[in-house]
Structure 1
Amino acid sequence: MDDRELSLKLLVVLSKAYKVVMDRAAKDMKKNGLSESEFTVMELLYHKGRVPMQRIGESMLVTSGGITYTVDKLEGKGYLRRVACPEDRRVTYAELTEAGKSKFDDIFPAHASAIESIMGGLTEEEKRQAIALVKKLGLYAQETK
């Protein structure tokens, strides 16, 4: 196989693996009554604390409209609140409420175990290698716009 064929094969293998892994992860997220987007926003806020709304979209690679919709849903469930920035009225933060923190405290350990199980096909060393290689590929692809 030449380099072009290997590159195409790698794209197919990465795409298929990503789809299967994300489908399994999403199934785990949904069993807790949260969409993938809701879970991802809650996870970001759980680990980072208060975050500007526009940064949530950048972190998740989602449009501002998609983030607004997700934040509205989480706010409606009582898991999140919007907080105006006192220094800059253009900035609005999102943060978890106590109910949101409590919900995530309850569901995250089992989710982390599910992800560990999904990734169980690789040894610890293979996971480190995969992380380094996929990161290297992503950074290179980003530079070659």
Structure 2
Amino acid sequence: MEQDSIKQSLKLFIVLSRAHRSLNDIVNKYIAERGLNPTEFAVLELLYHKGDQPLQQIGGKILLASGSITYVVDKLEQKEYLRRVACKSDRRVTFAQITDKGKEFIESVFPEHERKIDELMNELSPEEKDTAIELLKRVGKNAAGQ
């Protein structure tokens, strides 16, 4: 019995990994065609939807190593999509802030980005999406707890 469980778990892992890769390949291609890499897009999207963010906290919010944040922020700053802003109350803290040019960029690409993701996910019914969300949350929480 245990061997059947192991085989099934491995199969689920492989199917999930392949689905993730296929979805990411499509979404990342769309982002690349607009001149950004996926990490740059994630930072810009975070700033657009959540407002100014301390540079030290961005990595944790988009699952990126903190050492890479400086490089990504530099690139977005060169493109004039964000600026660094010193914290008035704590000189050790610097915020990333989206610029008007960055907002215009996100507003021009995000609706199509959302539509593409919706199109990819619409293989599932609304009920199936809810079930998948709940099941994957459980798996993720279990993994995080180990």
TM-score bin, normalised by smaller chain: over 0.9
**Aligned ranges for residues 72-111 of structure 1 at < 5 Å?**
72-111=74-113
Shift of 1:84: 0.9
Matched AA of 2:98: L
Q: What is the TM-score of this pair, normalised by structure 1?
A: 0.95
Equivalent residue number for residue 47 of structure 1: 49
Equivalent residue number for residue 2 of structure 1: 4
Determine the C-alpha separation between the residues in 2 that align with 1:140 and 1:103.
37
Shift of 1:64: 1.7
Q: What is the TM-score of this pair, normalised by structure 2?
A: 0.94
Aligned length: 144
Gaps of 5+ in 2: none
Determine the C-alpha separation between the residues in 2 that align with 1:54 and 1:139.
24
Percent identity (aligned) = 49
Determine the C-alpha separation between the residues in 2 that align with 1:18 and 1:77.
29
CA contact (8 A) 1:24 1:118 kept: no
Equivalent residue number for residue 22 of structure 1: 24
Shift of 1:58: 0.5
CA shift digits 1:57-99 (9 cap, x unpaired):
0012212221111110000000000111111111111010011
SS of 2:122 mapped into structure 1: helix
Determine the C-alpha separation between the residues in 1 that align with 2:23 and 2:12.
16
**Aligned ranges for residues 35-74 of structure 1 at < 5 Å?**
35-74=37-76
Matched AA of 1:53: L
Determine the C-alpha separation between the residues in 2 that align with 1:118 and 1:27.
14
Higher relative contact order (CA 8 A, sep 6+): 1
